[in-house]
Amino acid sequence: MKDRLITDVNKKKVWYGPEVLKVRDLFSRKEEKGYNITRSDDKFFSNYWQVYAWAAIIGFMNDKREVGANLDNRTSFEYQVIYNASESIAYALILMAVGKIEEETSAEILNARNILTIISEYAEGGAKHVLELRGTPGLESRFNNADDYFREIFERVKVPA
């Protein structure tokens, strides 16, 4: 059952909306043949799938889902790209999405497009959250350097008193 689900999800294209596109363009290097990364290139992510997955994780962690979001960017990569690069991230995103499904039948729960739509809605919500953070006075340059990503993770950790 798991293998069939993963196979079905991996065959599908990842769709995303305008907020993910904005965040992608802010934080990911352009993926083009012959693109030369220079020392002046300060983008944190080297692949588009990474910023998509990061935005989805931010969305899941902060419960920021854009239900019914406009996911017009449909000429993107297949989910297989995430799976090939990092099985653990691919599985985690699928499990988080399945955990949010409120359907009743196994066919509805294991629907690959439904799972990917949920991941993309959380990615859209996570991207919107990141953009809102950057719109906060004093945080306009948040995530412009690597330390900001670590700081965001540490801010989530609750230290016992």
In a domain, 90, yes or no: yes
In a domain, 51, yes or no: yes
Per-residue pLDDT, 42: 62
Cα-based distances in Å from 2 to 13, 94, 117, 131, 132: 19, 11, 19, 35, 37
In a domain, 70, yes or no: yes
In this structure, are residues 109 and 115 in contact, taking their beta carbons and an 8 Å threshold?
no
Per-residue pLDDT, 40: 47
In a domain, 161, yes or no: no
Nearest alpha-carbon partner for 17 in 55, 58, 57, 61? 55
Look up the domain containing 107 and give its range: 2-156
For the chain, the domain total comes to: 1
Per-residue pLDDT, 94: 95
What is the token pair recorded at 89?
Answer: 């991230």
Helix 112-134 and helix 2-11, axial crossing angle in degrees, nearest 10: 60
Handedness of CA 10, 12, 18, 21 (dihedral sign): positive
pTM (2 decimals)? 0.85
pLDDT in single tens digits along all 161 residues of the chain:
678 889 999 999 999 999 999 999 888 876 544 445 444 456 778 888 999 999 999 999 999 999 998 999 877 689 999 999 999 999 999 999 999 998 888 888 889 999 999 999 999 999 999 999 889 898 788 888 777 777 777 776 666 76
